[in-house]
Chain A
Amino acid sequence: MKSGGSKLEQILEKGQFAVTAEIGPPKHADAEKVVHHAHILKDYVDATNITDCQTAVVRMSSIGTGVHVLGAGVEPIVQMTCRDRNRIAMQSDLLAAYSLGMRNVLCLSGDHQKFGNHPTAKNVYDVDSMQLIHLVRRMRDEKKFFCDEEIKGAEPRFFIGAVANPFADPFEWRVDRLEKKVAAGAEFIQTQCIYDMERFERFMEMVRERGLDKQVHILAGVTPLKSWKVAKYLQSNVSGMIVPDAIVERLKAAEDSKAEGVNICIEQIKYIKEKVPGVHGVHIMAIAWEEVVPDIVQRCGLYPRPQL
Chain B
Amino acid sequence: MIVAEQKPLAEIADMIKDCRKVLFAGCGGCVTVCLSGGEKETEVMATALRMKRQLEGNPLETVTYTATRQCDPEYIDAMADAVRGVDAVVSLACGVGPQYIAARYPDLWVIPAQNTTFAGGSKEHGVWEEFCGLCGQCVLHLTGGICPIIRCSKSILNGPCGGSQYGKCEISKDVDCAWHLIYERLKRLDRLDLIRAYQEPKDWSKARDGGPRKVTREDVMIG
Question: Which residues of A line the B interface, CB within 8 A?
Answer: 82-83, 87, 108-112, 114-115, 123, 125-131, 134-135, 146, 163-165, 167-170, 173, 176-177, 179-180, 183-184, 192, 239-240
Q: Does B161 lie at the interface of the complex (its beta carbon under 8 Å from any beta carbon of A)? A: yes
Task: Say yes or no: is B50 at the interface (Cβ < 8 Å to chain A).
Answer: no
CB-based contact A87/B201 at 8 Å: yes
User: Which among B11-19, B33-41, B61-69, B148-156 touches the partner chain?
Assistant: B148-156
Number of residue pairs spanning A and B whose beta carbons lie under 8 angstroms apart = 102
A-B contact pairs, 9 of them (CB 8 A): A110-B154, A130-B156, A169-B164, A169-B177, A170-B160, A170-B180, A180-B158, A239-B169, A240-B163
5 A-B pairs closest in CB distance = A165-B162, A239-B170, A130-B158, A109-B161, A239-B163
Q: Would you call B24 an interface residue if the criterion is a C-beta within 8 Å of the partner chain's C-beta atoms?
A: no
Residue in A closest to B167 when the chains form the complex, CB atoms: A169
Q: How many residues of B contact A (CB 8 A)?
A: 31
Bound state CA distance, A129 and B184, in angstroms? 22
Which residue in A125, A173, A180 is a CB contact (below 8 Å) of B156? A125
Known contacts A109-B161, A112-B171, A170-B180; is-contact A83 B166 (Cβ 8 Å)? no
Contact status of A184 and B198, CB under 8 A, knowing A83-B154, A109-B154, A129-B161: yes
Tell whether, in the assembled complex, residue B156 and residue A128 are in contact, meaning their CB atoms are under 8 Å apart: yes
16 further contact pairs, Cβ within 8 A, besides A115-B170, A168-B164: A109-B162, A112-B154, A112-B170, A112-B171, A125-B156, A126-B202, A128-B155, A129-B161, A131-B201, A163-B162, A169-B164, A169-B180, A170-B184, A176-B196, A179-B196, A240-B162
What residues on B are CB-neighbors of A168 within 8 Å?
160-165
Instruction: Pick from A110, A126, A131, A179: contact of B204, CB below 8 A.
Output: A126
